[in-house]
Amino acid sequence: MKAAYILDGQVSVGEVPDPIPQQGQVLVRTHSCGLCASEAHFLQSGEQVVGLCQKHGGPYAGLDLSRPFVPGHEYVGEVIDYGPNSKKPIRIGRKVTSVPIMRQAGAHSVIGFNNDCPGGFGEYMLLDEDMVIEVPSGLDDDLAAMTEPLAVGLEHARRGLPTNEDTPLVIGCGAIGLGVIVGLKLKGIGPIVAADFHAGRRKAALKMGADIVIDPREMSPYEPIHDLGGRQVNLVYECAGVPGLLQQIIQSVRFDGRIVMGGYCMEPEQILTFSAQNKRLTVYFAGGEEPQDMTLALNTIADGKIDIGSWIGAKIGLGGIAQALAEMSGPEAAIRTVVDPRKF
Amino acid sequence: MKAAYILDGQVSVGEVPDPIPQQGQVLVRTHSCGLCASEAHFLQSGEQVVGLCQKHGGPYAGLDLSRPFVPGHEYVGEVIDYGPNSKKPIRIGRKVTSVPIMRQAGAHSVIGFNNDCPGGFGEYMLLDEDMVIEVPSGLDDDLAAMTEPLAVGLEHARRGLPTNEDTPLVIGCGAIGLGVIVGLKLKGIGPIVAADFHAGRRKAALKMGADIVIDPREMSPYEPIHDLGGRQVNLVYECAGVPGLLQQIIQSVRFDGRIVMGGYCMEPEQILTFSAQNKRLTVYFAGGEEPQDMTLALNTIADGKIDIGSWIGAKIGLGGIAQALAEMSGPEAAIRTVVDPRKF
């Protein structure tokens, strides 16, 4: 099949082996797949990520960077076939998405970051039949492809155990931070404060349901907020992945604050536990979504409750991936570029 | 009054000004006061602790190390007098203890680590009348002086939100770790696993209610435990204050684990947030006790539910403090040395 693959830190488009479904696997023709910052990260620092996982444990320990792998983990596709003796939970021709996890030989592989589980930047994929969820008929492919990135934010949102007593602050309004805002809004938590350096991201945060947006260069989000009757944030979502930010939050948040660490940092972080103890802080380390988050994300998108279409910028084919990965950061970048892997 | 005081990193015994109670303050004649590792820490590294608090916030920012201060925050004493216009909640002649906090000019000072709030290593103290709790008549002074150190462990225990589903591990079986074990036992949580390098401490852990004790040189406490039917610890209490131990726990604990950080470390800790995120860990930073913990600790001691007398080693006068502070660590040291400040 045709696919965009990464080999030795380069993106290429070409032929890779057709995936052949085994028992318990669904063969899917991919319709749309979002481009995530983690793909750019693997392209630039794949060895570091794999090395960390090999040394300290983690889902990418088995990825061999000297062999090609097809990325893409924010996918929607059409069911084409099943492996022999499968349960076939969803009918041929229906569209599906899933948590990008494939159970293989008792372990979990991450689809799109594994040499044997190609992701959504190829014509075909294999999914785990126990993980797939059906996309409602009539829902646009590109909107459905936003299910996974939205689900990550929904997981982070609930990870902080938010209550009506909380005043949350979301730092970083990329896809993950925006998903956290959606997740908090769905739970009726608020007012929600969001902070980002970029005006476009702050605008997106308001669209997703933030009540107050802050440019951290202009004011501290940790002080009592006049427009909220003097309320002060106490539940901080780190969705930026900026080295040193965790300690800055520890330093700045109020007594009894809670922090959800969502942004990934590959280097060890220095934290002053003395400060965190004096303030009785709690840090929840957040990872990725679970099936319940995928279901909620898909339902939320399908119900039209949020304007997820506003996340989507350019729509490209396989041939545009390399350039899009190079240009994906920056204040003017769209939240998501989507790839139609049926096109070049 | 006579007191042992710290000045310029030295312990001396001599005359210091008599404390005079103001409105809202209780004048107490001290009967017994425990010697805590934090006093040794202030003696050796006071400037570092005060400097950290001045820079990053914390309760010791106001301590002037170039002026004498009288330490001792694990006290029991007899009510002698009140300041003018006080509420006088407890009758003269009764015995009291308290959270070592004094409200002064809108702020909170820590009794025993403040130039103007002498601690229990002097003949008299001032306490905040809204913080004192009455010691039941007939309860031995030295046992009652264990209320505060026990209360710290009780706070740490509840800070981890333990449930019947948890298998807790307590690392470090000094007073704080032993208090955590008592706190878990009082809540009916278990089996409780405790780890310490020293045999005497492991024995103390069993006496307080630990079900399994481990010498970390002999086996890892994080693996499934054969004697517990293969259960694996998931809620880890760091009560050792050893630099680097937090990251070691992050590295070793199982998926979805929770960590209560009780031990104080003054240097920044390096943690690999990537690992903590992959495992979806939660870290609760624990500080000191609150009034509810003091009440529970005192009731537990008074009810005779635990053999708190086993914590107590030598009983000394003011003149023995300097030597006791120098010798307080090490495998053979008692959990607590108690000081009778009425004696030299």
How buried is residue B322: exposed, middle or buried, by Cβ count under 10 Å (0-12/13-18/19+)? middle
% of chain B at pLDDT higher than 90: 86
- Residue pair A238/A195 in contact (Cβ under 8 Å)? The answer is no
Equal fold, B2-148+289-339 vs B161-285: no
To the nearest whole Å, the CA of A222 is away from the closest chain B CA by 15
Rounded to 5°, the CA angle A133-A297-A305 comes to 125
B58 vs A275: CB contact, 8 Å cut-off?
A: yes
A278 vs B251: CB contact, 8 Å cut-off?
A: no
For CA atoms A9, A13, A18, A22, the dihedral sign is positive
- Residue pair B115/B69 in contact (Cβ under 8 Å)? The answer is yes
| Rounded Cα gap, residues B69 and A212, in angstroms | 47
A272 vs B52: CB contact, 8 Å cut-off?
A: yes
What is the fold of B2-148+289-339? Quinone Oxidoreductase; Chain A, domain 1 (3.90.180)
B283 vs A285: CB contact, 8 Å cut-off?
A: yes
Tens-digit pLDDT profile for residues A213-270: 999 999 999 999 999 999 999 999 999 999 999 999 999 999 999 999 999 888 899 9
pLDDT range class, residue B59, cuts 50, 70, 90: confident
Identify the closest residue of chain B to A251 by CA–CA distance.
B56
Among A278, A281, A292, pick the best mutation site for testing chain B contact (most B Cβ within 10 A).
A278
A58 vs B284: CB contact, 8 Å cut-off?
A: no
Candidate from A261, A271, A283 with C-beta closest to B269:
A271
Q: Where are the domains of chain A?
A: 2-148+308-339, 161-285
Tens-digit pLDDT profile for residues B187-209: 999 999 999 999 999 999 999 99
| Rounded Cα gap, residues B78 and B182, in angstroms | 27
Among B101, B278, B289, pick the best mutation site for testing chain A contact (most A Cβ within 10 A).
B278
To the nearest whole Å, the CA of A315 is away from the closest chain B CA by 31
Residues of chain B positioned with their CB less than 8 A from the CB of A56: 251, 272, 274-275
Q: How many angstroms from the chain centroid is the CA of residue B90?
A: 25
**β-strands A168-171, A193-195 pairing:** parallel
CATH architecture of B161-285: 3-Layer(aba) Sandwich (3.40)
- Residue pair B198/B177 in contact (Cβ under 8 Å)? The answer is no
| Rounded Cα gap, residues A106 and A88, in angstroms | 20
| Rounded Cα gap, residues B267 and B244, in angstroms | 10
To the nearest whole Å, the CA of B202 is away from the closest chain A CA by 26
- Residue pair A315/A142 in contact (Cβ under 8 Å)? The answer is yes
Q: What single letter denotes the amino acid at residue B103?
A: R
- Residue pair B210/B168 in contact (Cβ under 8 Å)? The answer is no
CATH architecture of A2-148+308-339: Alpha-Beta Complex (3.90)
| Rounded Cα gap, residues B154 and B290, in angstroms | 10
Among A282, A289, A290, A293, pick the best mutation site for testing chain B contact (most B Cβ within 10 A).
A282
pLDDT over 90 at B160, yes or no:
yes
To the nearest whole Å, the CA of A238 is away from the closest chain B CA by 12
| Rounded Cα gap, residues B177 and A129, in angstroms | 47
- Residue pair A242/A174 in contact (Cβ under 8 Å)? The answer is no
| Rounded Cα gap, residues A167 and A162, in angstroms | 9
Residues of chain A positioned with their CB less than 8 A from the CB of B56: 251, 272, 274-275
B268 vs A270: CB contact, 8 Å cut-off?
A: yes
% of chain B at pLDDT higher than 70: 100
Rounded to 5°, the CA angle B45-B46-B52 comes to 95
Q: pLDDT value at position A33?
A: 98
Q: Which of helix, strand or coil describes residue B66?
A: coil
Q: Which of helix, strand or coil describes residue A289?
A: coil
ipTM: 0.94
Tens-digit pLDDT profile for residues A43-56: 888 999 999 899 88
Tens-digit pLDDT profile for residues A83-124: 999 999 999 999 999 999 998 777 788 999 999 999 999 999
For CA atoms A263, A238, A74, A314, the dihedral sign is negative
Q: Taking the CB of residue A292, how many other CB atoms lie within 10 A of it? A: 13
Tens-digit pLDDT profile for residues B146-157: 999 999 999 999
Identify the closest residue of chain A to B248 by CA–CA distance.
A56
To the nearest whole Å, the CA of A100 is away from the closest chain B CA by 15
- Residue pair B340/B179 in contact (Cβ under 8 Å)? The answer is no
Identify the closest residue of chain A to B59 by CA–CA distance.
A278
Q: pLDDT value at position B56?
A: 85
B265 vs A281: CB contact, 8 Å cut-off?
A: no
B282 vs A285: CB contact, 8 Å cut-off?
A: yes
Residues of chain B positioned with their CB less than 8 A from the CB of A284: 282
Which residues does A156 contact at the CB level (< 8 Å), separation at least 6?
A: A176, A179, A180, A183, A237, A239, A260, A262, A286
Tens-digit pLDDT profile for residues B2-42: 999 999 889 999 999 999 999 999 999 999 999 998 898 89
Tens-digit pLDDT profile for residues A176-191: 999 999 999 999 999 9
Q: pLDDT value at position B266?
A: 84
